[in-house]
Structure 1
Amino acid sequence: MSDKTLKDLAEQMRGIDIAMLSTITEGGYIAGRPMSNNGEVDYDGTSYYFTDGDTRTVSDIRREPKVALAFQGKDAFSLAVEGQASLSQDKGEMQAHWTPDLDRWFRQGIDTPGLTMITVVAERAHYWAGQDEGEVTL
Structure 2
Amino acid sequence: MTLTLNDISNELKNIDFGMLSTKKADGTISSRPMSNNGDVDYRGDTWFFCFEQSQKITEIKADPKVALTYTARPSLLGKPGIFIAIQGNASLVGDKQTFAEHWMSELERWFPQGVDTPGLLMIKVHASKVTYWDGDETGSIFAPDDHPQD
Q: What range describes the TM-score normalised by the shorter chain of this pair?
A: over 0.9
C-alpha deviation, 1:7, in angstroms:
1.5
Residue 51 of structure 2 corresponds to which residue in structure 1? Answer: 52
Q: State how far apart, in whole Å, the 1-side matches of 2:108 and 2:62 are.
A: 28
C-alpha deviation, 1:42, in angstroms:
4.3
Structure 2 residues without counterparts, runs of 5 or longer:
74-79, 144-150
Residue 71 of structure 2 corresponds to which residue in structure 1? Answer: 72
Percent of aligned pairs with the same amino acid? 42
Structure 1 residues 105 and 43, CA, compared in 2 at 3 Å: closer, same or farther? farther
Indicate the structure whose relative CO is greater, using CA pairs within 8 Å and at least 6 residues apart.
1
Aligned residues: 137
Q: Aligned AA for 1:131?
A: D
C-alpha deviation, 1:48, in angstroms:
0.6
Deviations 1:65-108 (A, max 9, x none): 00000011133310000000011211111111111111110000
Q: State how far apart, in whole Å, the 1-side matches of 2:87 and 2:30 are.
A: 14
Q: Aligned AA for 1:118?
A: I
RMSD, aligned α-carbons: 1.3
Residue 126 of structure 1 corresponds to which residue in structure 2? Answer: 131
Deviations 1:37-83 (A, max 9, x none): 22265443001101111111000001100000001113331000000
Residue 106 of structure 1 corresponds to which residue in structure 2? Answer: 111
Residue 23 of structure 2 corresponds to which residue in structure 1? Answer: 24
Q: State how far apart, in whole Å, the 2-side matches of 1:36 and 1:43 are.
A: 18
Residue 3 of structure 2 corresponds to which residue in structure 1? Answer: 4
The structure with more strand, counted as a fraction of residues: 1
Q: Aligned AA for 2:32?
A: R
Q: State how far apart, in whole Å, the 2-side matches of 1:24 and 1:42 are.
A: 25
**TM-score normalised by the chain length of structure 2:** 0.86
C-alpha deviation, 1:112, in angstroms:
0.7
Q: State how far apart, in whole Å, the 1-side matches of 2:53 and 2:91 are.
A: 15
Q: State how far apart, in whole Å, the 2-side matches of 1:89 and 1:40 are.
A: 17
Q: Aligned AA for 2:45?
A: T
**TM-score normalised by the chain length of structure 1:** 0.93
